[in-house]
Amino acid sequence: MCKFVVHQLPMTHIASVLARFGNVREAATKIGRPPSVIQYWRTTGRIPATAMGQVLDAARRHEIAVDPAELIPGASDAPTHGAAA
């Protein structure tokens, strides 16, 4: 008898943003991209810069809260101007 161990990877930050749009198909419909593209973004944890505007427009149209900074890798880790060192 074979037993498989399933390891669940932690959800990437981008995956959590995309989850606000619903499942992969729902997100694809709302954003206007194929489901395979949405799944790729979720898996890699990155949305290409050329698609960020499309994601933000879809979020506005569907009243989904998405801060543009959430789409930029490492933006939440970057120091802000005027922050004490």
Ranges assigned E (strand) in 1-85:
none
pLDDT tens readout for residues 19-31: 999 999 999 999 9
- Tell me which of 1.10.260.40, 1.50.10.100, 3.40.50.300, 3.40.50.10420 is the CATH number of domain 13-72: 1.10.260.40
Cβ atoms of 52 and 17 closer than 8 Å: no
Average pLDDT of the chain? 84
Residue 47 has pLDDT above 80, yes or no: yes
Distance from the first to the final alpha carbon of the chain: 57
Q: What whole-number percentage of the chain has pLDDT above 90? A: 68
- In whole angstroms, give the CA distance from residue 7 to residue 58: 32
User: Taking phi first (over 0 means left), then psi (-120 to 50 degrees means alpha), and beta for anything else, what does residue 36 get?
Assistant: alpha
Domain range annotation of the chain: 13-72
pTM exceeds cut of 0.85: no
pLDDT tens readout for residues 49-70: 999 999 999 999 999 999 999 9
Instruction: Provide DSSP, 11-35.
Output: PPHHHHHHHTT-SHHHHHHHHTS-H
Residue 5 has pLDDT above 70, yes or no: no
